[in-house]
Amino acid sequence: MLICWGLNIAEVFLGFSFVSFEKDKIPMPAVVLIGGIGLLQLVYILPLYFMFRRKGKTATAIGLVVAACFTALLSSACWFGR
């Protein structure tokens, strides 16, 4: 779970690196990286999942899936809970 959440935090920091506080506009890469974290994490979680499954570390692979589902659930609650 820590692997997944560490990568999620890195993704959010990457998204904030695109934000320039001098303008009133937020660039599209920042919106996509920060706002779409629930879906974009599939890009780096699925390869890690298959890698850990291939190495026989099924507990780590399942932990990645659980953490990714938890992140997606919280993200969707924030987007659709209004």
Domain range holding 66?
A: 2-17+27-80
- Report yes or no on 32 lying in a domain: yes
- Report yes or no on 7 lying in a domain: yes
pLDDT of residue 57: 95
The pTM (predicted TM-score) of the whole model is: 0.76
pLDDT 10s digits, 20-71: 776 677 788 888 888 788 888 888 999 999 999 999 999 999 999 999 999 8
- Report yes or no on 22 lying in a domain: no
Q: Which two tokens stand for residue 34?
A: 């920060």
**Do the beta carbons of residue 41 and residue 72 sit within 8 Å?**
yes
pLDDT 10s digits, 17-33: 888 776 677 788 888 88
Q: Which two tokens stand for residue 18?
A: 């695109």
Tokens 């692997």 appear where? 3
Tell me: pLDDT of 15 over 90: no
In 3D, which of 61, 35, 37 has the Cα closest to residue 48?
Answer: 61
- Report yes or no on 45 lying in a domain: yes
Q: How many domains does the chain have?
A: 1
